[in-house]
């Protein structure tokens, strides 16, 4: 876990995911009203922040209505009504996923990535795709840091500013060399980046089969634990579709060009 700094001010924050679930199941909060508030927050601030590549308003409203329509609270799922943003290299059915590149501008997957299937089955509402750098690599990002626009918003998971700015309580990113933990530190948030292979990568663009791993951004440990309990299905570190090597040679990742003129 990466803890937030205590100095400086942060933007106003919405409900924690844990509170959303509790209030929704007690019928103190309607998922449709909560999701409407998240969409309004995005509309009010994202012209400046540029955290979202694509906002699936219709899909989010439909997902929230489905949660509201479930009568028995035990059927709603552990993430009932919680708004989540997915990095734009994670497939979501019938939602553009262009990997941050004009080369894939017309790409629209027909199936959810496996981790998205798990999130939806748990009752989460996917608001859309957060910005990634082109092909999740070292290119500059258009996203702005909500704490200080002069500072970087992080690496390829820069769209996680959607959490730091209070647009959503949770976001899913992917790390190859450090983009989850880097964005977390810069944005004074919390994150979890579990061991390789604990979360399925099927339906996710992979830069490195040995280094890529899904990470979770949030604002409290309880929220991170809630999402982790849903999508971490292989605690031993190797999910069935990942080949298990007879031996693993230590891998060193070297990033060049970051600080050169």
Catalytic site positions = 87, 156, 179
Instruction: Mark residue 173 as left, alpha or beta (left: phi above 0; alpha: psi -120 to 50; beta: remaining).
Output: beta
Q: Are strands 190-192 and 52-55 parallel, antiparallel or unpaired?
A: unpaired
Q: At what angle do helices 57-69 and 31-49 cross, to 10 degrees?
A: 160
**How far is Cα 131 from Cα 48, in angstroms, rounded to an integer?**
13
CA distances from 242 to 3, 78, 238, 249 (A): 31, 27, 6, 16
Concatenate the DSSP letters of all residues of 14-78 into one string.
---HHHHHHHHHTTSS-HHHHHHHHHHHHHHHHHHH--EEEE-HHHHHHHHHHHHH--SGGGS-T
Tokens of 169: 């309580």
Strands (DSSP E) found in the chain: 52-55, 83-87, 125-130, 170-175, 190-192, 213-218
């Amino acid at each position: 876990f990466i803890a937030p700094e205590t100095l400086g001010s942060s933007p106003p924050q919405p409900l924690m995911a844990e509170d959303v679930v509790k209030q929704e199941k007690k019928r103190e909060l309607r998922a449709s009203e909560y999701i409407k508030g998240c969409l309004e927050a995005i509309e009010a601030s994202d012209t400046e922040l540029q955290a979202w590549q694509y906002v699936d308003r219709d899909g989010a409203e439909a997902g929230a209505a489905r949660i509201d329509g479930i009568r028995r609270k035990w059927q709603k799922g552990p993430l009932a009504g919680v708004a989540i943003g997915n990095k734009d290299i994670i497939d979501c059915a019938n939602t553009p996923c262009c990997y941050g590149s004009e080369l894939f501008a017309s790409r629209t997957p027909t199936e959810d990535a496996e981790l998205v299937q798990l999130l939806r089955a748990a009752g989460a509402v996917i608001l859309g795709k957060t910005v990634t750098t082109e092909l999740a690599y070292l290119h500059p990002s258009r996203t702005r840091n909500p704490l200080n626009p002069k500072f970087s918003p992080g690496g390829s998971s820069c769209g996680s500013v959607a959490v730091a700015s209070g647009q959503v309580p949770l976001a899913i990113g992917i790390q190859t060399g450090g983009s989850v933990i880097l964005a977390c530190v810069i944005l004074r948030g919390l994150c979890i980046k579990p061991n390789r292979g604990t979360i399925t990568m099927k339906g996710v663009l992979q830069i490195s089969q040995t280094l890529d791993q899904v990470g979770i951004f949030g604002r409290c440990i309880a929220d991170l634990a809630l999402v982790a309990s849903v999508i971490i299905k292989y605690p031993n570190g190797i999910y069935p579709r990942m080949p298990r090597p007879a031996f693993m040679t230590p891998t060193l990742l070297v990033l060049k060009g970051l600080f050169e003129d």
